[in-house]
Amino acid sequence: MKTLLVTGGAGFIGANFVHYWLAQYPQDKVIVIDALTYAGNMANLATVNSNPNFTFVQGDICNTALVEQLLRAHSVDTLVHFAAESHVDRSITGPDAFIETNILGTYSLLKAAKIVWLDNKDTGVSNHRFHHVSTDEVYGTLSATDPAFTEETAYAPNSPYSASKAASDHLVRAYHHTYGLNVTTSNCSNNYGPYHFPEKLIPLVITHILHNEALPIYGDGQQIRDWLYVTDHAYGIDLVLNKGRVGENYNIGGNNEWANIDIVKTICTLMDQQFASNSALAAQFPKAAAAQKGDSASLITYVKDRPGHDRRYAIDATKTNNELGYQPKESFETGITKTVAWYLNNEAWWRAVMDGSYKDWLQKQYDAPAS
């Protein structure tokens, strides 16, 4: 039995991880610490909130004393660190929060873990683990013909977001080498699925189609991302926690590369099919082009490129596959179909998110369409 402290558990991947973990290991205890920034949402945890093995604490990971107190009060043995500023576009317009949370926040957690687990050893926990959730973006960008990123690929982050994640990865590594903290790090590719904040490409496209709003494609739309269904990320972290070697990095990915424009066209087709097969959708979303038998792809609009936009990410997960027996359970076809269905069935969730300050932020991001 484990007692987990999950940072950022009210965000997209953190919440999916909490759902996964409590379903998989119902005897375990899960404590979430989350600052509830614009990306954190208690609605993401509504289905576990009454579970007696679940505790939510609103707090900032930069508050080392609070983290120490939680590690002690609950005799936590496993810390799974998701909390971060996670959106590349926001890191370009406002890097401060990324430095604060991603670098100083991770440092604060490491300090607390070292004090409680290594220096004082007063919680009776003999086998601790600090698992750090990182990204493939720390490896930089690939050309169309480069081999995919392995755990040996040199770090070359290109955005303030990925640089802040790279810095946090290095701190985690250093706490293992210098102090002997039991750490693991996973570097995952782009996730998609339920509770994905609608500033990110896939949920943005789905919700814009329903509002009949432009689908903004940065640059030429030929940038490539390697998409993984979010529960398969949670499963990968589970394997790293239970079978991974301390001090190691593990890549997690689904071998599923898509050019942005192709993924957007695929979602348009799926949405049009949903409207064609379910007449109730036209009444629910009357603004959508598909409600009038129109073509959602007509909303595609090329806009100015993201500054420093990485061209291609691709994960080589051979080490994780061979060493931990990892294979994603969801195909892209099943994963994206489930995701579209989730957004169609959870209008209240995304409407509440989109009615907030996010909407104003998003509006400011759109430049005039490129010629």
Residues belonging to the active site = 136-137, 161
Binding positions for ligand NAD, rule: CB under 6 A: 7-8, 10-14, 33-37, 39-40, 60-62, 82-84, 86, 101, 105, 133, 135, 165, 188, 190-191, 197
Going from the C-alpha of 220 to that of each of 208, 261, 364, the distances in angstroms are 20, 8, 21
* Residue 108 interacts with, from ligand NAD, ligand DAU, none (CB under 5-8 Å by kind): none
* Residue 240 interacts with, from ligand NAD, ligand DAU, none (CB under 5-8 Å by kind): none
CB of 141 to ligand DAU, least distance (A): 10
Q: Is 200 in the site for ligand DAU (CB under 6 A)?
A: yes
Task: Please identify, using beta-carbon distances, which residue of 161 and 275 lies nearer to ligand DAU.
Answer: 161
Within 10 angstroms of residue 219's Cβ, the number of other Cβ atoms is 16
Q: At 75, which amino acid appears? A: S
User: By the 8 A CB rule, do 9 and 36 touch?
Assistant: no
* Residue 313 interacts with, from ligand DAU, ligand NAD, none (CB under 5-8 Å by kind): ligand DAU
- Two tokens at 334? 């099943």
Of 3, 7, 16, 86, the residue at the interface with ligand DAU (CB under 6 A) is: 86
Of 223, 231, 256, 296, the residue at the interface with ligand DAU (CB under 6 A) is: 223
Q: What is the DSSP letter of 289?
A: G
* Residue 260 interacts with, from ligand NAD, ligand DAU, none (CB under 5-8 Å by kind): ligand DAU
Q: Which residue has the tokens 């604490």?
A: 57
Would you mind telling me the total number of residues written for the chain in this entry?
371
Strands (E), 93-182: 129-135
Q: Is 187 in the site for ligand DAU (CB under 6 A)?
A: no
Q: Which residue has the tokens 């490539």?
A: 224
Residue 155, CB-side half-sphere exposure with 13 Å CA sphere: 16
* Residue 11 interacts with, from ligand NAD, ligand DAU, none (CB under 5-8 Å by kind): ligand NAD
Q: Is 13 in the site for ligand DAU (CB under 6 A)?
A: no
Dist CA 185 CA 135 (whole Å) = 9
Stretch that binds ligand DAU, among 26-34, 80-88, 96-104, 124-132 (CB under 6 A): 80-88
CB of 108 to ligand NAD, least distance (A): 9
Of 72, 74, 87, 338, the residue at the interface with ligand DAU (CB under 6 A) is: 87
Q: Which residue has the tokens 């949370």?
A: 101
Task: Please identify, using beta-carbon distances, which residue of 12 and 54 lies nearer to ligand NAD.
Answer: 12
Q: Is 7 in the site for ligand DAU (CB under 6 A)?
A: no
Write the DSSP assignment of 84-117 as a string of letters: S---HHHHHH-THHHIIIIIIIHHHHHHHHIIII
Task: Please identify, using beta-carbon distances, which residue of 255 and 274 lies nearer to ligand NAD.
Answer: 255
150: Cβ–Cβ under 8 A, 6 or more apart, which residues? 251, 316, 318, 319
Residue 210, CB-side half-sphere exposure with 13 Å CA sphere: 21
Size of the site for ligand DAU (CB under 6 A): 19
Alpha helices in 278-331 (DSSP H): 280-284, 318-324
Q: Is 313 in the site for ligand DAU (CB under 6 A)?
A: yes
Q: What share of the chain is helix, strand, coil (3-state, %, to 5)?
A: 45, 15, 35
The dihedral through the CA atoms of 17, 19, 20, 24 has a sign that is positive
CB of 286 to ligand NAD, least distance (A): 30
Q: Is 225 in the site for ligand DAU (CB under 6 A)?
A: yes
Task: Please identify, using beta-carbon distances, which residue of 29 and 131 lies nearer to ligand NAD.
Answer: 131
Q: Is 64 in the site for ligand DAU (CB under 6 A)?
A: no
* Residue 43 interacts with, from ligand DAU, ligand NAD, none (CB under 5-8 Å by kind): none
User: By the 8 A CB rule, do 35 and 59 touch?
Assistant: yes
Within 228-267, which residues bind ligand DAU (CB under 6 A)? 260
Of 218, 229, 275, 349, the residue at the interface with ligand DAU (CB under 6 A) is: 218
Going from the C-alpha of 52 to that of each of 22, 28, 179, the distances in angstroms are 11, 10, 35
Dist CA 196 CA 217 (whole Å) = 19
Residues that bind ligand DAU (CB under 6 A): 86-88, 135-137, 189-190, 200-201, 204, 216-218, 223, 225, 260, 306, 313
